[in-house]
């Protein structure tokens, strides 16, 4: 946060209650971002992997008048003053809530969020960031097509430049020829993830190095896809806990593509801001459903086998990489919100408040798919989304769902143009996404409330080697 110039002292002395509240707000606190869980629901979920919050440190005695403390005191007193005396006499509970709100908004929490850094090159090599990284508050998905005349060598130069810029930005440093958009911001958990589309290989003369798993997805009966917003030669996923930081990265990469690649489409998404709830859980989508329950977890024995390409891959450059399926799914929210909560829960197969299966327990309780009601019908309906999408219903098929919500205004009929930017990761799309989507396509109770409007499949190689760039083994191998 930028340092603020202290305001001139008001002639009006704060009341004793105000001074006491300010003193309490100045007390050091242990703050930090709670690591999100890793679970799946209405077609998506939060990714696994934990972010370690920065430890809280007690301030030194001489630091009592630090800018952070002064900001905290001014913020509290300003709020109390604006509320007036009436705000102070609503009762003990109201007063406590006011102090708590000021404490929760303390600069230490903001600093923790802003200073969190995700490495561009994981120690010892590995996967690109943005796959198992906890979901960030803001996301941009963009696809580029190579400009005419951009050959393999020119594409390599672009990926080299993009990788260098992404590494600088993710470390919180300004890249070359920076615009200065986010000079006073930390990295804010920024991640930049690069992928290659099916058409990239033909344009660069690399068709023999195109993986079989990158074959186009099949058509589904519910698809109403816009070709202009689907696929692409190159794909970038940007995520950050600060919208300005995310835009800064998008703008820097888009400028560097000039003359080499042209923007094909862009989609902007969001997710819950860190600290927005006192009880973090798996993310909620715009239908109000907890979305992400039962997602594969990095601690699972077969996690790498399911999500990342193994050593037996047909293309060596993709070993350790993953395949991203991207779908823009518009939700028919007006129709959905006309349904009772009871009906909505039957469609999903889970409770709306806590994500627990209709067979009981908590969000993490396994579904009892064989449980029946007294009338003999299944407790979790046969066409419930959670039942049909479950690995148990798909020969163990699973994918790591890591979506963003989106809202692009309102349509001509007044309905919201809003829904899910569905992103899932897997070692083999045919055995994961395609297998599950085919089953959903045949009888998912949620399908009448969804419209699949854009789609893409991208090969996401492993992270760049030291002093290298993403995709180097493909482009120079």
pLDDT score of 281: 60
Catalytic residue from among 291, 304, 334, 335: 291
Quote the pLDDT of residue 277.
75
Known catalytic membership, residue 413: no
| Amino acid 360: pLDDT | 97
pLDDT per position in the chain (477 positions), as tens?
444 444 444 444 444 444 544 444 444 433 334 333 333 333 433 434 334 344 444 334 333 333 333 333 333 333 333 333 333 233 333 333 333 333 444 444 446 889 999 999 998 889 999 999 999 999 999 999 999 999 999 999 999 999 999 999 999 999 888 888 898 899 999 999 999 999 999 999 999 999 999 999 999 998 999 999 999 999 999 999 999 999 999 999 999 999 999 999 999 999 998 888 776 667 899 999 998 888 999 999 999 999 999 999 999 999 999 999 999 999 999 999 999 999 999 999 999 999 999 999 999 999 999 999 999 999 999 999 999 999 999 999 999 999 999 999 999 999 999 999 999 999 999 999 999 999 999 999 999 999 999 999 999 999 999 999 999 999 998
Domain boundaries, the chain: 138-476
What is the tens place of the pLDDT at every residue in 330-372? 999 999 999 999 999 999 999 999 999 999 999 999 999 999 9
Cβ-proximal residues to 206 (8 Å cutoff; 6+ apart), any chain: 152, 200, 474, 475
**Tens digits of per-residue pLDDT, 428-452?**
999 999 999 999 999 999 999 999 9
pLDDT in tens, 63-110: 333 333 333 333 333 333 333 333 323 333 333 333 333 344 444 444
């Amino acid at each position: 946060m930028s340092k603020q110039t202290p305001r001139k002292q008001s002639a009006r002395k704060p009341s004793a209650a105000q001074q006491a509240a300010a003193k309490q707000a100045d007390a050091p606190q242990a703050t930090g971002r709670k690591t999100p869980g890793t679970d799946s629901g209405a077609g998506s979920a939060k990714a696994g992997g934990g972010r370690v919050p920065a430890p809280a440190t007690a301030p030194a005695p001489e630091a009592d008048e630090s800018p952070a403390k002064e900001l905290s005191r001014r913020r509290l007193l300003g709020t109390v003053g604006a509320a007036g005396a009436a705000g102070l006499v609503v009762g003990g509970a109201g007063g406590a809530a006011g102090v708590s709100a000021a404490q929760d908004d303390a600069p230490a929490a903001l600093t923790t969020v802003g200073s969190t850094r995700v490495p561009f090159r994981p120690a010892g090599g590995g996967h690109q960031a943005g796959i198992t990284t906890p979901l960030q508050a803001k996301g941009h998905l963009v696809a580029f097509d190579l400009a005419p005349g951009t050959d393999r060598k020119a594409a390599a130069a672009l990926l080299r430049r993009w990788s260098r810029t992404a590494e600088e930005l993710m470390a919180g440093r300004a890249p070359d020829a920076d615009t200065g958009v986010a000079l006073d911001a930390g990295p804010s958990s920024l991640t930049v993830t690069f992928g290659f589309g099916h058409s990239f290989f033909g344009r660069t003369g690399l068709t023999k190095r195109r993986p079989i798993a990158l074959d186009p997805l099949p058509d589904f009966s519910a698809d109403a896809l816009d070709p202009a917003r689907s696929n692409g030669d190159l794909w970038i996923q940007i995520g950050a806990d600060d919208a300005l930081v995310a835009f800064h990265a998008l703008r820097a990469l888009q400028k560097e593509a000039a003359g080499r690649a042209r923007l094909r489409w862009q989609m902007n998404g969001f997710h819950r801001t860190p600290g927005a709830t006192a009880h973090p859980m798996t993310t909620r989508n715009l239908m109000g459903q907890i979305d992400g329950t039962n997602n594969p977890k990095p601690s699972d024995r077969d996690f790498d086998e399911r999500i990342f390409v193994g050593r037996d891959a047909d293309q060596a450059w993709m070993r350790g990489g993953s395949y991203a399926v991207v779908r823009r799914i518009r939700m028919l929210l007006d129709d959905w919100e006309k349904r009772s909560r009871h009906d909505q829960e039957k469609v999903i197969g889970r409770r709306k408040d806590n994500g627990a299966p209709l067979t009981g327990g908590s969000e993490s309780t396994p579904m009892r798919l064989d449980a029946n009601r007294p009338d003999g019908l299944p407790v979790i309906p046969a066409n419930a989304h959670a039942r049909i999408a479950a690995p148990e219903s798909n020969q163990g098929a699973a994918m790591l769902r890591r979506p963003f919500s989106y809202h692009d205004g309102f349509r001509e009929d007044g309905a919201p143009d809003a829904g899910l930017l569905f992103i899932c990761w897997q070692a083999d799309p045919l055995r994961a996404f395609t297998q599950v989507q085919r089953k959903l396509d045949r009888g998912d109770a949620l399908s009448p409330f969804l419209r699949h409007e854009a789609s893409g499949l991208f090969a996401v190689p492993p992270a760049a080697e030291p002093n290298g760039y993403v995709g180097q083994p493909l482009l120079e191998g």
